[in-house]
Structure 1
């Protein structure tokens, strides 16, 4: 093993004192990927409990990567993926924080490349994370302002509003009206 993987494995532990072996780490990754992949509206709470039984704090990067990848591949399940994130976030906010950071980076990258399909998928995930209260409404307002700053992104902005606009109206009605009036 190289020094980078040594330090990674020494930082990942079973009980905060005993490092996981490479095979234990890989096995945990497979279990998490399988669990995230089988999440549905009818079993999301059960799947979340099973994921929480894993060393999710140590595997938070892998969990976030897997969740974002599956959400982008299956946009119809965005609400389920966001609900799963919300349950995990309620116990381990650092996992939710990392997920939001990565989802925002994915959105920014798609916006920078002018990739409308990825922008749509990423903004849908952000909207559902707002609805699930994984992230504050302030982020949704920033996403909306960015989307409305270009005529090319109005369709994506409309879709974003359709997904989380009701929550925004309830929570930050005046600010939302101001943003829409400016655009």
Structure 2
């Protein structure tokens, strides 16, 4: 084996490792930037859309990490960061990066718990992407609305949460 071959092999292997590591850094940086600045969510979603078109594996990594971020913030009862993650996910549906089924699964998860925070998060998600969810999945969305209608009569929810549900139905 020549020194040139070994150097070329080493550089190629090192480059691959840096690419994999760089993808993780990119995913983490985008998610953290969006959590800190939710105002720029449409810009970040557009950027992820462009990245996803050129490098689908990086787009998938970003989606996986964003869903994991949502799950962690939701489990920690961190409403602010959960709202930011939901906003990012809904904008990724607008950009055709994320499939609407995932958001339906998140809605089902949120409404299984039936706490004030989970119901408010579900309503925020519906407000963000009701149109995108209603076109391909009208039956599933009707079931979710039925669940919310039934929640209006539960005494366990705060008045504010009940009011938010009423506003959703008034629109």
Higher relative helix content: 2
Larger RCO, structures 1/2 (Cα 8 Å, 6+ apart): 2
Among residues 105, 117, 120, which one is paired with 2:68 in the alignment?
105
Which residue of the other structure, out of 133, 151, 175, is the alignment partner of 2:115?
A: 151
Q: Compute the TM-score of the two structures, normalised by the length of structure 1.
A: 0.68
Deviations 1:84-133 (Å, cap 9, x if unpaired)?
Answer: 10111011111111111100111111111111111111111111112211
**Structure number with larger C-alpha Rg:** 2
Aligned to 1:88: 51
**Alpha carbon RMSD of aligned pairs, Å?**
2.1
2:90 corresponds in structure 1 to 127
- Cα gap change, 1:180/1:96 in structure 2, threshold over 3 Å: closer, same or farther? same
The answer to whether 1:19 aligns with 2:17 is no
Q: In structure 2, how many angstroms separate the alpha carbons of the residues matched to 1:87 and 1:103?
A: 17
Residue from 125, 145, 159 that aligns with 1:180: 145
Equivalent residue pairs, number: 136
Q: Within the alignment, does 1:171 sit opposite 2:136 as a pair? A: yes
Kindly tell me: are residues 108 and 58 of structure 1, through their superposed partners in 2, closer, same or farther at Cα, counting changes over 3 Å?
closer
How high is the TM-score relative to the length of structure 2? 0.72
Structure 1 unmatched runs, 5+: 1-9, 26-54
